[in-house]
Amino acid sequence: MNLKERQESMTTSNPIAGRDLETLRTAVTGDVFTQGDHGYDEARRPWNLAADERPAVVVMAGSAADVVQAVRFARSRGMRIAPQGTGHGSEPLEPLQDAMLLRTVRMRGVRIDPAVPAARAEAGALWQDVTVPAAEHGLAALAGSSPDVGVTGYTLGGGMGWLARRYGLAANSVTAAEVVTPDGRLRRADADHEPDLLWAVRGGGGSVGVVTALEMRLYPVRELYAGALFFPVQRAAEVVQAWRAWTGTVPDEVTSLSRILRLPPLPEVPERLRGRAFALVEAAYLGDAAAGAELIRPLRRLGPEVDTFAMIPAPALQHLHMDPDQPSPAQGDGAFLADFPAAAIDTLITVAGPDAGTPLASIEVRHLGGALARPAPDGGAQAKIDAKYVLFAGGLAPTPELAAAVRGHAQAVKDALAAWHADYDYYNLEETPAPASAVLPPDSYRRLQKIKASYDPDQAIISAHPVRPVGLLTSAPDAQPALMRSVGEPAALGDRRGAFGERRAGE
Ligand SMILES: Cc1cc2nc3c(=O)[nH]c(=O)nc-3n(C[C@H](O)[C@H](O)[C@H](O)COP(=O)(O)OP(=O)(O)OC[C@H]3O[C@@H](n4cnc5c(N)ncnc54)[C@H](O)[C@@H]3O)c2cc1C
């Protein structure tokens, strides 16, 4: 059977047939659900409630050993596997009706080693699971704007947070990954082992296996000067132009964004902001209050209506962007911008500014550059980013009609700025179905295709942005495709110790 035939047979057959799930239930400590089971709907429900996947089977894995068993079960029955943590990034996924949804939400163990300093996070950990204990040691992780986004999905797709211009993408701070590859083996990829696998998970998405844990560097950051300036939305053009000019003057210690924010008329929104629209600048400065105040002086001089800048502890950064803190139905889309000159700002204001009738709740442009623009030493699939800014437009989508409207408006904003798009989009903020070739540098995509061919020639792993395997095997996993391995056989782990000291293998 050639590759195309194999793919077709994998996507058109109904591999579950409901018969032998008991084998899997016995093999794992976690839970297994299929359609009709009590608990199936809860198990398949992603954080982004706009996605409505109905997988053939859902496995709530409780451990790496469960992941091994689930992968072997799926592979031995020709079923494809979609790894998922929170489901924040569920929108771009392909239909999963014949697939196994392999959820890691119960695997939230985190260990901090202040001596390195580093963190080890199991695949289901949320960012708040890392940032809070890290802060007890005066350390910060390269978390994103929301405390309940998953460490794994975010990091596999790059991971751009409030320290990005100083320390780069989260993916490039990953020092080791534990991954169950489609042959059902748990492998450790680190500086000395499985270099291609390590490279692929560092920014190339989760296309070559199911990650069970990541290890990453932490940084000595206790406090930052950070906050937001709120201006009435009628001043959006002036504010965004001023912010754009200001970004050309700031050091790498400043990471910032400008956004148009339409707040809902909900009781949890402070009264003076409730139901109103604003132009905002949000920024974080790695330094003290005096230097920070001096840096943001040009923007303060514009006279914001609300000014929240203050010294804050590092974990509080994750509330700066005011992301929803409960599962919500949302739609959105993003794009890297090669640049964001005055004409692009005028265009943005026309399609999303005060006079644009739009259902979009937030249209933001983040400032890149700094460490993001320099090749990370031993970097992964996104070793550097040439784009100077990144756009994201999105909104709440509680009904199909609103979902369509928000999607249409987000696309319209993206299209309007097409003249300034970079050559590819940002992996993590591309929320519509798109191949990995659309969200990675071309060289990286080509290398990833070869690595995919080596580890996952059958395309067993379903990732947010698919990779088509091609080319010769680069670092051939030593095993044959292990479709025939039986469920219940002990996991074949390498015999290694990681930075966190635990036995990796033969345990
Ligand atoms: C409110 C909000 C704020 C955000 N802020 C930022 C931000 O500041 N910076 C930024 O860069 N991005 C940001 N994002 C985007 C976010 O990084 C992506 O949506 C990311 O995919 C979420 O990861 P997750 O693990 O929470 O989601 P999931 O939906 O669980 O995972 C997303 C994808 O990652 C892969 N994956 C997850 N777990 C595994 C695994 N164990 N093994 C293999 N593959 C796996 C799969 O392909 C999966 O489809 C934000 C998103 C939201 C909703």
Count the Cβ atoms, other than its own, within 10 Å of residue 17.
11
Give me the pLDDT at residue 130, please. Answer: 98
Residue nearest (by alpha carbon) to ligand 1 atom 52? 88
- Ligand 1 contacts CB of residue 390 (under 6 A): no
pLDDT digits (tens, 9 = 90+) for 93-149: 999 999 999 999 999 999 999 999 999 999 999 999 999 999 999 999 999 999 999
pLDDT digits (tens, 9 = 90+) for 363-397: 999 999 999 999 999 899 999 999 999 999 999 99
Looking from the CA of residue 179, the nearest atom of ligand 1 is 42
Question: How confident is residue 18, by pLDDT bands cut at 50, 70 and 90?
Answer: low
What percent of the chain lies above the pLDDT cut of 90? 85
Q: Inform me whether the pLDDT recorded for 314 exceeds 90.
A: yes
Give me the pLDDT at residue 16, please. Answer: 57
| 88 CA distance to ligand 1 middle (Å) | 6
Exposed (0-12), middle (13-18) or buried (19+): which is 431, by Cβ within 10 Å? buried
Tell which one of 88, 90, 107 to mutate to probe ligand 1, the residue whose CB is within 8 A of the most ligand atoms: 88
What is the mean pLDDT of the segment spanning 426-445?
97
d(CA 126, CA 106): 11
* Residues β-bridged to residue 277: 262
Give the global pTM: 0.91
Residue nearest (by alpha carbon) to ligand 1 atom 33? 153
Residue type at position 196: D
Looking from the CA of residue 48, the nearest atom of ligand 1 is 53
CA angle 85, 86, 91 (to 5 degrees): 100
Give me the pLDDT at residue 9, please. Answer: 39
Question: How confident is residue 325, by pLDDT bands cut at 50, 70 and 90?
Answer: confident
- Ligand 1 contacts CB of residue 255 (under 6 A): no
What average pLDDT does the chain have? Answer: 90
Contact 109, 125 (CB under 8 A): yes
Nearest to residue 157, comparing CAs of 140, 173, 174, 170?
170
> Rounded to whole angstroms, what are the CA distances from 42 to 53, 167, 189, 381?
12, 37, 33, 34
* Residues β-bridged to residue 140: 219
Tokens found for residue 89: 């990034």
Element containing residue 57 per DSSP (H, E): strand 57-60
- Ligand 1 contacts CB of residue 146 (under 6 A): yes
Residue nearest (by alpha carbon) to ligand 1 atom 41? 211
Which SS3 state, helix, strand or coil, does residue 153 take? Answer: helix
Residue nearest (by alpha carbon) to ligand 1 atom 26? 150
> Rounded to whole angstroms, what are the CA distances from 111 to 130, 214, 315?
8, 11, 16
Element containing residue 2 per DSSP (H, E): none
Residue nearest (by alpha carbon) to ligand 1 atom 28? 87
Tokens found for residue 302: 């514009």
Among the residue ranges 217-221, 301-305, 410-414, 479-483, the one predicted with the least confidence is: 479-483
What percent of the chain lies above the pLDDT cut of 70? 89
Nearest to residue 281, comparing CAs of 324, 239, 232?
239
- Ligand 1 contacts CB of residue 148 (under 6 A): no
Give me the pLDDT at residue 476, please. Answer: 39
